Amino acid sequence: MEFTHLDKDQRPTKLDVSAKTATERSAVAECHVYLGPEIMSALADSGWSSKKGPILDTAIIAGTMGAKKTSELIPFCHPLNLKSVKIDIAPADDARLRIEARVKVLDQTGVEMEALTAASIAALTIYDMCKAASKDIVIESTRLLEKTGGKSGYKSQ
């Protein structure tokens, strides 16, 4: 197995993408947040708002900001000029929210980390806005669902 962020001496290094062709690339990631049936019901009844403000809208904004700042958070990510960040948050069942983040770019490297970061930051924002109601909130199953463009594609089973 070869890791792309290690040089010939096994030292950390940023991957050189200068020889790659800029192409349209996209990635989709998801994350689930377990709130529990009681909190889910109370939030639905309140229009998904709390004393801190509109929970889902705030999480979408935070996730978008997270995608844009990924290269500042993860050492070897390239700064990218993102063309699109779309975040959808909806109930997965009576106890959990599902966050889906879709990110697009026209560049020399992919946007998997930006999509994963967007979903994660949105989940953390939901946690922050709901933590007063429960300490049993769980952020779970953050994963890449799909990536397109570049040398290889990916779609989860």
What are the DSSP calls for 12-49, one per residue?
Answer: B-----TTSPPEEEEEEEEEEEE--HHHHHHHHHTTSE
**107 catalytically annotated:** no
DSSP letter, residue 4: T
pLDDT of residue 154: 83
Catalytic residue, from 9, 93, 128, 136: name it: 128
Domain ranges of the chain: 23-148
- Taking Cα atoms as reference points, which of 110, 115, 81 lies closest to residue 100? 115
Predicted confidence (pLDDT) at residue 5 exceeds the cutoff of 70: no
Helix-, strand-, coil-residue percentages of the chain, each rounded to 5: 30, 35, 35
Give the mean pLDDT of the chain.
91
Average pLDDT on 125-138 reads 95
Distance, CA of 145 to CA of 154 (rounded, Å): 8
* Domain with residues 23-148, CATH architecture: 2-Layer Sandwich (3.30)
* Per-residue pLDDT tens digits for 12-54: 666 667 667 788 999 999 999 999 999 999 999 999 988 889 9
Half-sphere CA count of 101, side-chain side, radius 13 A: 33
Tokens of 70: 């990924």
Residue owning tokens 């991957």: 15
